[in-house]
Structure formats: structure tokens, C-alpha cells
Structure 1
Amino acid sequence: MDDDSGQVILMMAIIIVIGMVVLLVYLNQSLLAGRSSSMSIMNFPKNDIRELKEETIAEAYTLGRMVNDNLSYNVYSVDERGIKREQDYNENFNRYSDSISRLYAEKGSLIKLTSTPRVENGNIVNATVTISYKNGETTYFENTTIQVLN
């Protein structure tokens, strides 16, 4: 009579080891999937975008109010006053845009800011601001209209 009990024990041990290896591989994959999804959330530049949007809107509003409150334009006719205020607004906003673009370029992001003021009766009444943000992983684009005069 042959004694096969040693072979059965060895075969069961091999099956259990293979099962444990498969379970460990699945566990490892689930840990990596969780880590990669959390890393993508952490890499999303929401604070950069939020800060850029808030500062740009504040700057556009402040520039519009500043240009409208400048009394030196009152020597011009209403049409000329509107043209001068629009030119002054655009010049100052372009300076702001250039400074912010250089600042974010140092962080590895490409920023494009534009603003188009709307003039009525010689005053800037609102401005449409376009914000474009790219950092290699994330692309963000938004148009916002800011009321300057009530």
C-alpha cells in the first residue's frame, strides 16, 4: 500500500500559497489605486485657480472704479472720455496680466488673462474677464462679467 498523505499535504500547501499570493496582488493593486486617485486630487490646482480668479476679478473691478473716478478725463467730450478710460483700463489690466503670467510661469503654469471693458456715457459699466490656466495636467477656462457701475 502506498502512502500518499505527504503528497496531498504538499499539494494543499502549494494551493494555499498560490491563493495567498493572488490575494496579496489584489490587495497591493487596491492600495495603489487608492494612492493614485488621492494623488490626482492633491495635484489638482484648485487653490491656484481660485486665487487667480478672485485676484483677477478684484483687479478688474478696482481698475474700472479707479478709471471712472479719475476726474482728469472730465475735460474731454463724453465719447473721448470713454475712449480714454477704456485705453487706460486696458493698459493697466495688461500690466497686471503680464505680471501674473510671469509669476505663475515660475510655478510651471501658463496663464492668459484678458479683459474687455464696456463703455456707456463715457464710463466703464462692466468688464468681461477671460481666465485661461494650464499647468500640463489641468486646463481651466472661464469668462466672467464684472459690474463696475451700479
Structure 2
Amino acid sequence: MAGLNEDAQWIVLMGFIVSFSLFFLAIVLNQSMVVGQTTAESVLDFPKNDIQNLRAEIINSVYYEQVDDSIINNDIVSIALARKGAIVSYSNYTGNYTYINIHYNNGVTVYNETWASP
């Protein structure tokens, strides 16, 4: 910069400062986008509707319809594994109240519930 006059040196110096600040802002924004994306993906990975539908079908078939448990159990297990890649199992006990233990695992989310009849 020895060959430049003083005004040109300031222009070149300000150009460096502006370019480095834009580069720094681009890195910061890129990192915030990555954090936002992974947070949104983790929310999308939780299969809330799948669990609600599964729970409703199991409770409906065991408690309200009282159909053959082995047929419904085999159907629910095979459909959940084929369509969603989830391992589903449930067991029930009927005494004074009906208790249903529901287990759901799709490799990311594990859900366990014990439902008791009202």
C-alpha cells in the first residue's frame, strides 16, 4: 500500500473490513439455519399421529369391541412394522378394570403407556 495515497488506503481498508464482516455474518447465519433445521427435524421425527392412531385402535379393539386379542395383536404388529418400521406390542389384563400396556418403538422414539379403563 506504499504506492497509494491516503484516501485510497482508507477505501481499501474499509473494503477489507466490510468483506470480513459479511463473511462473518454469513457463517453465523449459516450456523443458525443448521440449528433451526435440526430442531425442526426432531419435532417432525416424533410420530404423534401414529401413536394416537395406534392407541385408539388398541383401546377400541380390546376394551370396547372385545374381539379376539391374538388376531388384532398380529395385525397391528405386522402393519406397524411394514408401514412405519415401528415395533409395537401390547398386552392387556382384565379384572375389575381393564389394563392395557402399549409399547411403541420406531428407532427414534420410544413410547410406553399403561391405560386403565374408567
Q: TM-score, normalised by structure 2?
A: 0.85
Q: Do residues 62 (structure 1) and 67 (structure 2) align?
A: no
> What is residue 115 of structure 1 aligned with on the other side?
92
Q: Partners in 2 of 1:141 and 1:97 — Cα distance? A: 16
> What is residue 30 of structure 2 aligned with on the other side?
28
Supply the AA of the counterpart residue of 1:110: I
> What is residue 42 of structure 2 aligned with on the other side?
40
Q: Secondary structure at the match of 1:142?
A: strand
Higher RCO (C-alpha 8 Å, min separation 6): 1
> What is residue 83 of structure 1 aligned with on the other side?
none
> What is residue 142 of structure 1 aligned with on the other side?
113
- Is the 8 Å Cα contact of residues 130 and 144 (structure 1) preserved in structure 2? yes
> What is residue 102 of structure 2 aligned with on the other side?
131
Q: Secondary structure at the match of 2:112?
A: strand
- Following superposition, the deviation at residue 28 of structure 1 comes to 1.8
> What is residue 99 of structure 1 aligned with on the other side?
75
- Is the 8 Å Cα contact of residues 60 and 146 (structure 1) preserved in structure 2? no
Supply the AA of the counterpart residue of 2:53: E
- Is the 8 Å Cα contact of residues 117 and 127 (structure 1) preserved in structure 2? yes
Q: Secondary structure at the match of 2:98?
A: strand
Q: Partners in 2 of 1:94 and 1:129 — Cα distance? A: 14
- Is the 8 Å Cα contact of residues 126 and 145 (structure 1) preserved in structure 2? yes
Q: Partners in 2 of 1:131 and 1:61 — Cα distance? A: 13
Larger radius of gyration: 1
- Following superposition, the deviation at residue 62 of structure 1 comes to 2.7
